Structure 1
Amino acid sequence: MGDYNGGKVHKVFVNKIEKSSFRMRPDVMAAFQKMIEAYDKDRKGKSNEHIFVRSGFRSYADQKYIWETKFTGKRKMRESVEGKKPEEIVSLILQYSSAPGTSRHHWGTDIDINSFDNTYFEKGGKGEFLYSWLQENASKFGFCQPYNEYSKRGEKGYYLERWHWSYKPVSSKLEKEWQKAYQSKKIIIKGKFMGSNTMSDDLPLTYVTSVNTDCKE
């Protein structure tokens, strides 16, 4: 569940204006397109911001590349990795990025939209109306925000991500399947990528399962 390339199981979603393309499950894309249509009707005269995808399905190799470029400092984060111990770098990365093999983006059910900056979606931000609309309407199309306020998840898992939305009818089931596979050692994390040997056995499980209760079955 993660160490694969997606193959033919995903369809390609193309952003209408940006023309960039991303893969996702066919059922996810169908629901997402319906949600976009509903939002576009409701935003007329209220917001110029349309919904567009910034990230969809990611293969294990994709996630490993993101992880290791952050681990080595090639990809900038909110803090520099210089002078930090491996376990400190791991903790820093895990604020917003998943370890390879643990990302919900491996499942083809999760989408990042519009901006990776939470302030974009806050009051006064360009995406204020969009985020308010999603909070009220996304569930009608099967979508939920897995990483809501950190405090509401017992301060476990990733930090707040207002841009990340998940297709609950499928992802809630895949989360349970991932948990079973990991606990039965069908998914191996340690020794697979930089810094993985510093992780406790419970850490990947905590990050995968510490999501908004609205995203649970």
Structure 2
Amino acid sequence: MDLFSGEKLIWKLPDAELIYIANFFSNHEASNYFERLLEDINWQQDEIKVFGKTYQQPRLTALYGESNTPYSYSGITMHPNPFSKDLLEIKTKVEEETQHHFNSVLLNLYRNGNDSNGWHADNEASLGIHPVIASVSFGEERYFHFKHRQLKNERHKVLLQHGSLLIMKGAMQEHWLHQIAKTKRKVGSRINLTFRKLI
């Protein structure tokens, strides 16, 4: 898929709908948020188990929310910090665009091309059936890969730009997997905010 700056693109795919807005935040806004979040967020690096072996997760993460409700995924249980002023500002703008209320945000810090997030779906029971996930990107551009679980020809990628918003809707988390792959290119840091509603 080729994306052009400034466009709002909508894809109605088998079992999913994606919306991408390249310049959801201006370059100035996005750069300011990136610098402040990099400094102010309580970043952590959790351990994950893969085939019985324990590894450091290949990125830093943080959870913020409206309540003390924890969020568990891939054997990790995270406990939220209260929303900061910046996160509330970002959340309000995302909610206005999506017409959807979010009570939690999982942040990822990809420090360089070695940091990644393997194939997965945001399909935890705490997110409910067919959740809306809104993903904001600040910093270095990285490719977002997604593929259908059964339809082998349905495999795509989108370059997530600085200040962009990607919205995943419909049955995507049930029928599709997505990832941020490692890259050998020399790339800087990227902060990703994935807004969601825990039930």
Shorter chain as denominator, the TM-score bin is under 0.3
Whichever of the two has the greater Rg, that structure is 1
Higher relative contact order (CA 8 A, sep 6+): 2
Report the structure, 1 or 2, having the larger helix content.
1
TM-score (norm 1): 0.25
User: Higher strand share goes to which structure?
Assistant: 2
